[in-house]
Amino acid sequence: MRRNFGVLLGWCVFLMSAGCSAHKPAQAAKTGNSAEPDKVLYERATNDIKHARYEVGRLALQTLINTYPDSDYLAKAKLGIADAYFKEGGTANLTQAIAGYKDFIVFFPFLQEAAYAQMQVAMTHYRQMDKADRDRAEAQAAEEEFQTFLQKYPDSPLIPEAQQHLRDVQEALADGDFRVGYYYYVKGTPSSYRASFSRLSDVVNRYPLYSKSDQALWMIGNMIEKSTKGDQKQAAVPYYTRIVRDYPLSNLAPQAKERLAALHATIPQPDPQALAWMEKERAVDRGHVGLVHRATGILHNGPDVRSAARNGTPTMTPPSETASGGDILHPGGVSTVGAAGAGNTAVIETVTPASPSETSPDSSTSDPGGASTTNSTSDASGNSTGGATTGDSSQGSGQQSNAPQGGQDNGKQQQSPSKQK
């Protein structure tokens, strides 16, 4: 009896275990079919992208988006497609990456990855930047996108990186304007001075962190002194003042003090914050530029931003709010120039040669460098005369001024037609 009971109990246990084992695989299969395929598809796509199989990875991610519109991996899939385009590179792919990142920001604006997407939009333009003396469209777009990132996501951990990239971009933009301004500055004629002033005033007003802002201020002051007479030379004082106050460690600070003393102007004390900033900049190790780097630099498409500031707050205002005024020409040879900011006016009168019967031999004189007389006024903010930019398509020669250099002053008087005859 006991033996029969044991056999019966064994069969019961066997049947129960067989039923449970048959139910578990079906339940596991059911669970896997409903929740796992999107995850498997996403992981497979990310692995393909990691191993540079970008097109295969993007196709898998797009399949995930189309097949599982309610998946938890939907946002990651959209961002992954944009990242795949960015990593693959090339003009066409980077354009697709920008569109993908901006779509992600539109559809998922409140996710933490939205800040990353905006950063990547800026980095895509940053990656396509050209040299300072070439096309600046990508640099301007990068500046705008980095500014947008800093304004929209002030608490993002990517803020320090974005600020440095923005300083690099603004260094390249300012250097492009400086090169053009220097090119016209060395010509030393009134028309070239007006073109030089327009570019250099943009540099000093918009990009105070630029590595050659002190040189730009010196050149503006020098041009004003060479183009004016008497008390009108006082218009150069604010520019020399800014060199002494805002760039106290500059090599041009002693010369600026001498010019202020010669103009009987007050010599300011260095600004403590500006002094601390320049000391930090001097302590930065920017590396040594050897002959090999100079030779291979020609093959590099991007701008050289080693001289960019490593400290300080970059400019956050759009260019339209800080750009200097243009040259408004009027009949009669008179040009009225309105620079940016209140109280900035300048009148440039161009002297046109008259006929021999209307001009006596000794009645026609000219300022150094050309036949023009420039009247300039300036307010205490440091803004002064402005001029129309000519030859914007011409780029600067890339020369740099390591010492104070004025415009080419020939010191010759223009002879009247009657005297020449």
Q: What is the pLDDT of residues 176-229, one digit of tens each?
A: 999 999 999 999 998 999 999 999 999 999 999 999 999 999 999 999 999 999
- Residue 10 pLDDT more than 70? no
* pLDDT at residue number 405: 41
* pLDDT at residue number 318: 82
Q: 399-416 pLDDT, tens per residue?
A: 444 334 443 343 334 444
CATH of 30-124, one of 1.10.1740.110, 2.20.25.10, 3.40.47.10, 1.25.40.10: 1.25.40.10
C-alpha span between 175 and 158 (Å, rounded)? 26
Distances (CA, A) of 109 to 12, 64, 66, 151, 163: 60, 21, 21, 15, 22
Taking residues 229-235, report their average pLDDT: 92
- Residue 369 pLDDT more than 90? no
C-alpha span between 212 and 132 (Å, rounded)? 14
Alpha-carbon radius of gyration of the chain: 34
| Residue type at 414 in one-letter notation | Q
The domain locations on the chain are: 30-124, 158-280+306-341+367-391
C-alpha span between 144 and 352 (Å, rounded)? 44
Q: 278-289 pLDDT, tens per residue?
A: 999 999 988 766
Q: Within its chain, how far is the Cα of 6 from the centroid? A: 88
Distances (CA, A) of 16 to 23, 26, 146, 334: 11, 16, 66, 106
